[in-house]
Structure 1
Amino acid sequence: MTQVLTRPLTGSGVLGNATVPACLITGSLAGTSDELLSVDLEIEAGKLARIAPAGTLAGAGNRFDLDGGMVLPTLVDLHTHLDKGQIWPRKPNPDGSFMGALEAVGDDREANWSADDVWARMEFSLKSAFAHGTSAIRTHLDSVPPQETISWPLFEEIRQEWKGRIDLQAVCLFGIDRLLTDETYLEPVADRVAAAGGVMGAVTYMVDDLDRHLESVFRAAMKRGLDLDFHVDETLDPSAVTLRHIAETSLRLGYKGKIVCGHCCSLSMHEDVDVDRTLDLLAEAEVAVVTLPMCNMYLQDRMAGRTPRRRGVTLLHEMRARGIRVAVASDNTRDPFYAYGDLDLIEVYTQATRILQLDHPIDDWIRSVTTTPAALMGVEHGSLSLGGAADLILLRARNWNELLSRPAGPRDVVRGGYSIDRTLPDYRELDHLMQKGQVQS
């Protein structure tokens, strides 16, 4: 794996002639938009001690010349599915459709998701994310009985094991249509989420009595002081408007926690007047939105023998213009919902830029994988903060164009001032979990 540094960083030193985004610096050098600064970064005892104009910090013999290479803080992945990840070889999506994904995952969960299976796959994914430079992840956990009795205790153990490397949060995941027939489900699962310090969530559809069931989820969260994170309108059906109902429910109940809504694909199919109405409500209710462009483009508008014509991503530009907080995240990796991916947020940010046209200007969209998801998770990652841990990604690329043109280019990751081993786990590590003869291309 090509590296940036010629020798490892071991706790202290000066990263000279670095290029950093001003919008990610806290303090006197902070800036906005797409401004890039040429600086020296001094690291002492694993902390970011000083940021000064390039060429002004000597480094006392421990200086690394980055030759203009960019330095980013480690990144924050707001929406993933670690429990589903890596099952593609044994359970691929039969036709690439959303329903094909639902059925394939359901079958695999029932047949294979033991504690040992989920642990091994989550561990593999976390090793990948760590090597790429991610330091905080929120994962949704399928919480349909009896899986919640396996995945939640396991998550708490793996969160402790990974403490200091990746900060982990979990969200319960179930279809809100479950409450149509089993309203007793909600309280026990909310208790489990609260005990694990998690986030309350659900997949929302246009079901009968939607507002009543949304209110039940909100009240379960309010009773326990939990934030909310929903899967919302993951369809191109223009009649899907649960996003609007979520904002209205929040305002009606006076909910004070953080709300994140993921996907929100159907909004791209609405008439302008309806879009404006929904965005006004989101802004008023302070609902944040995370888009998952790689997964949504994989699933949405897929018809056999027909070229897809609609991107299936939500209206990030319009949201940000309203002051709505927006983020970009990985979503699924190597499972029936998305066949590819490696929890590499540099790749995700690059693809989002191309898919959503987050350029002309580049502006401060890098916040969508750094400071914005960090604030929504309530974690201290994603910024260059004096006195904070020197958790950094060092790139050979010198500007946005070079990075976005070659996202797989040379990269080092520094955690607590120390260079890490960026060796990625080998897929063969999971072979013992995959059924023989089921490997697909």
Structure 2
Amino acid sequence: MPSANGISRPDFRRADGRPVRALRNAGTTDGRTVDVHLRDDLVHAVVPADGAPAGELDLDLTGYLLLAAPADPHIHLDKALSFDEIRPPLGDLGAAIAAWEDYGPRLTVDNIADRARRAALRALSYGTTALRSHVNLLPGPDPLRGVRALLRVRAELAAVMDIQLVALAPFTVPDEAIHEALDLGIDLLGGHPHHTPDPEGNLRKLLRIAADHGVGVDIHTDEQLDPGMLTLEQLAHAVRDRPASTPVTASHCVSLGMTRPDVQARVIAAVAAARIGVVTLPITNLYLQGRDHLAGKPRGLTAVRALLDAGVPLGAGADNVQDPFNPVGSGDALETAMLLVTAGHLTPQESYTAVTAGAREIMGLPPAGPRPGARADLLAIRASSLREAIASAPPDRYVVCRGRLVAAGRSERSAVTALAD
């Protein structure tokens, strides 16, 4: 759709899942203007733009930057968008857990599925074509309400995005419920051993159940500031000899960022040797951690720079989106990348890699992006550079998943803003 200045705009009518043959006149992060030709769900060729008019199955991306589409390796769709419904008190992690557990009896399959669907589609509209969601096994007589809700949403959205599910098992939930969740088709097993009376024992139980079902694990690990809580190191030693085909992810790892340099180096070496992927979750950890530090507040992030320097796969996710654990957040991966620049001191490229290639590696997904042979999961955004895209998060976007246009958005640039003299 051309605008008054002749520059193409996204057209909502075209975001109908149709296959895309070529992306024309797209900007790249290295300053080129290219045509990207797709074949089925892969990028077939990337060539200098030839000025040819866009055909019926082409997109004219004049004025847009073409990037790999984000993937979110850690979100809680079952909790998302529940803040106004629950109206929890603002507080630390303990207060958030209590608010969620108190509200648990009122959660229904339909209620959870509705919010999860809206949150997933919101993420898709921003450009995220793959996500991994944790889903709580709930207390009470029906602990699998959230599991059934997210299995429903995963099936409904399978044509437009990849969704992986992790059964988040509190230590109070019977083992039978964990086995049943995995039997229903949950992809991975998770938990939070550091919040149990016996962290090492709980960790080993989760690893044993996962091994029995032949699935990987994604563990909430050391989500606290105590430098002496290093379940991450126990996890690394416990899984070092596992089969290479079994993925292991450690999420949060907050206390790693609080340890002495020598301890940090020792733990990271064990993590690297065990081939564990680490997911950092800046918005929620910045919100929840350090509230009792009246001065010199810690940032509450894991040791992102040291992990990258050691070659550990690093991903970053939205975590909690407007729920008791975080009252704000949009679910936009560019928001996560921006926080890694400001709070984690990563470069814009490193930050965007954490929400794209790093996340996909941890999730076991094929590489994506505008290069030959890669999966055609692509985000086109109206920006001249990656730094500008992260800084401004422009709403003008096209989202392509597996070679099909699945979302488009635009802003009305003709709107007039009145400013006071």
Q: What is the TM-score when the length of structure 1 is the normalising length?
A: 0.82
List aligned pairs for 1:265-276, cutoff 5 A.
Answer: 265-276=254-265
Tell me what 2:25 maps to: 17
Structure 1 residue ranges without an equivalent (≥5) = 22-34, 425-441
Q: Structure 1 residues 80 and 60 mapped into 2: Cα distance closer, same or farther (>3 Å)?
A: closer
Contact 1:74 1:381 in 2 (8 A): no
Q: Does 1:51 align with 2:35?
A: no
Contact 2:78 2:150 in 1 (8 A): no
Q: Does 1:119 align with 2:107?
A: no
Higher alpha-carbon deviation: 232-241 or 390-399: 390-399
Q: Structure 1 residues 193 and 65 mapped into 2: Cα distance closer, same or farther (>3 Å)?
A: same
Q: Following the alignment from structure 1 to structure 2, what is the Cα–Cα distance between the partners of residues 96 and 247?
A: 31
Deviation, 1:37, is 4.6
Q: Does 1:317 align with 2:305?
A: yes
Q: Following the alignment from structure 2 to structure 1, what is the Cα–Cα distance between the partners of residues 398 and 244?
A: 42
Deviation, 1:308, is 6.4
Q: Following the alignment from structure 1 to structure 2, what is the Cα–Cα distance between the partners of residues 252 and 210?
A: 20
Deviation, 1:173, is 1.1
Contact 1:290 1:326 in 2 (8 A): yes
Tell me what 1:135 maps to: 129
Q: Following the alignment from structure 2 to structure 1, what is the Cα–Cα distance between the partners of residues 24 and 410?
A: 25
Q: Following the alignment from structure 2 to structure 1, what is the Cα–Cα distance between the partners of residues 255 and 62?
A: 45
Deviation, 1:379, is 2.9
Q: Following the alignment from structure 2 to structure 1, what is the Cα–Cα distance between the partners of residues 54 and 151?
A: 43
Give the letter for the 2:405 counterpart.
Y
Q: Following the alignment from structure 2 to structure 1, what is the Cα–Cα distance between the partners of residues 40 and 338?
A: 32
Q: Following the alignment from structure 2 to structure 1, what is the Cα–Cα distance between the partners of residues 290 and 275?
A: 30
Name which of 326, 331, 339 aligns with 1:338: 326
Q: Structure 1 residues 61 and 78 mapped into 2: Cα distance closer, same or farther (>3 Å)?
A: closer
Percent of matched pairs sharing the same residue? 26
Give the letter for the 1:410 counterpart.
D
Q: Does 1:192 align with 2:181?
A: yes
Aligned residues: 399
Deviation, 1:372, is 2.3
Q: Does 1:241 align with 2:227?
A: no
Give the letter for the 1:358 counterpart.
L
Q: Following the alignment from structure 2 to structure 1, what is the Cα–Cα distance between the partners of residues 179 and 108?
A: 22
State the SS of the aligned residue for 2:380. Answer: strand
Name which of 235, 238, 247 aligns with 1:258: 247
Q: Following the alignment from structure 1 to structure 2, what is the Cα–Cα distance between the partners of residues 47 and 269?
A: 42
Deviation, 1:212, is 3.1
Structure ranking higher on relative contact order (CA contacts 8 Å, 6+ apart) = 1
Calculate the aligned-residue CA RMSD, in Å: 2.9
Q: Does 1:282 align with 2:241?
A: no
Deviation, 1:289, is 0.5
Contact 2:315 2:354 in 1 (8 A): yes
Q: Structure 1 residues 97 and 423 mapped into 2: Cα distance closer, same or farther (>3 Å)?
A: farther
Q: Following the alignment from structure 2 to structure 1, what is the Cα–Cα distance between the partners of residues 188 and 38?
A: 35
Q: Following the alignment from structure 1 to structure 2, what is the Cα–Cα distance between the partners of residues 106 and 93?
A: 11
Higher alpha-carbon deviation: 413-422 or 87-96: 413-422
List aligned pairs for 1:166-177, cutoff 5 A.
Answer: 166-176=161-171
